[in-house]
Amino acid sequence: MEVQDRVVVVTGAGRGIGAAMCRAFAAAGCRSVVVSDRHEDAALAVAQAIGSQAVANRCDVAIESDVQQLISDTIAQFGRVDIFCSNAGITVKGGLESCNADWQKMWDVNVMSRLFAARAVVPYMQDQGEGYLIHTASAAGLLMEIGSASYSVTKHADVAMAEWLAVCYGRAGIRVSVVCPLGVETDMLDDSDPIHRYLHLHSITADDAARSILDGIQKEEFLILPQAQVAEFFAMKTDNYDRWIRGFQRLRQKLTRDQNIV
Ligand SMILES: NC(=O)c1ccc[n+]([C@@H]2O[C@H](COP(=O)([O-])OP(=O)(O)OC[C@H]3O[C@@H](n4cnc5c(N)ncnc54)[C@H](O)[C@@H]3O)[C@@H](O)[C@H]2O)c1
């Protein structure tokens, strides 16, 4: 899809990858960019820096009525939604010891938000005859994040949601892409944590990630991989699952050796 003159919404756009996506959409000639975030001031700062193409909108994506309001505000203001980017996401470190409240929060922000968005916007896109859903998942959705069980599980769920939407709505003119980056240099990437730090091996800037996302949209690729190595790692997993599990066991052992983690 060409992005010129399109109306675009990006969630979690107050900083990081979402903010970079908004800047890239505006620079590529989108008519209107809705910069949405749970933190209104952050969204406003990004929108003001972009200029007259952008507006800010406060929305907590874990609350269905907020997501519905974001979409109805956009339709009321601009008459349509061409591209909806479900980008907002969070992480909580930890494994079996993570509390149920943290698992629920991860589920709501990383997965239910994508359902709320699709449920609200797909009917409008069907009436328009076309539309584009972008899900920022993660390489953890194809592989795993060793330091966070809930991130690994919810990002896999996001990839599954995107696959399901592509299969069920692709022939109705709704394009879907899922973005699966490795490390991106944002506040989410914790440099002090050795398990997180290995992601820096292949890390890129948020602006690099945004450029790759725009390129993927223009090519209408389902799987957008800002780091091409992810395709190789994913092929190794599907080629021989047991060898891949053993490889990740060795990697985890290496990363946790100095931390007394069992
Ligand atoms: N940074 C990485 O290394 C990396 C790698 C792969 C995937 N991702 C994914 O990319 C997306 C963006 O991550 P980022 O690195 O830019 O993170 P970030 O923490 O820099 O920014 C996330 C933004 O989302 C907003 N947000 C959080 N919860 C929200 C909610 N409930 N409702 C609305 N907004 C909310 C925050 O206020 C913040 O502005 C996430 O889905 C993340 O999982 C990040």
* pLDDT tens figures, 156-176: 999 999 999 999 999 999 999
In a domain? residue 192:
yes
- Known catalytic membership, residue 151: yes
Which region holds residue 220: left if phi is over 0, alpha if psi is between -120 and 50, else beta? left
Q: Which residue lies with its CA nearest to atom 19 of ligand 1?
A: 188
147 lines ligand 1 (CB under 6 A): no
In a domain? residue 19:
yes
Catalytic one of 124, 132, 151, 198: 151
Query: Rounded to an integer, what distance in angstroms lies between the CA atom of residue 255 and that of residue 94?
Result: 14
Q: What phi and psi values does residue 177 have, to the nearest 5 degrees?
A: -130, 145
In this structure, what DSSP letter does residue 146 have? T
Give the Å distance between the CA of 15 and the centre of ligand 1: 8
Average pLDDT in the chain: 95
Give the Å distance between the CA of 129 and the centre of ligand 1: 30
Query: Rounded to an integer, what distance in angstroms lies between the CA atom of residue 89 and that of residue 161?
Result: 15
In a domain? residue 183:
yes
CA distances (Å), origin 229, targets 47, 123, 225: 33, 36, 8
Output the DSSP codes for 173-218: TEEEEEE--S-BSSTTS-TT-HHHHGGGGG-B-HHHHHHHHHHHHH
Q: List the single range of 74-78, 150-154, 199-203, 212-216 with lowest mean pLDDT.
A: 199-203
Q: How many domains does the chain have?
A: 1
In a domain? residue 138:
yes
In a domain? residue 241:
no
221 is written with which tokens? 């690729």
Output the DSSP codes for 33-56: EEEEESSHHHHHHHHHHH-TTEEE
In a domain? residue 185:
yes
Short-list 140, 160, 148, CA closest to 91: 148
pLDDT of residue 201: 76
138 lines ligand 1 (CB under 6 A): yes
CATH of the domain at 38: 3.40.50.720
CB contact at 8 A, 154 and 110: yes
pTM comes to 0.97
In a domain? residue 64:
yes
Q: Which residue lies with its CA nearest to atom 41 of ligand 1?
A: 89
Residue numbers of the domain that contains 80 = 7-230
In a domain? residue 163:
yes
Closest atom of ligand 1 to 20 CA is: 16
Residues 6+ away with beta carbon under 8 Å from 151: 91, 92, 106, 110, 138, 140, 145
Q: Is the pLDDT of residue 153 over 80?
A: yes
CA distances (Å), origin 37, targets 41, 66, 127, 226, 234: 9, 11, 27, 23, 31
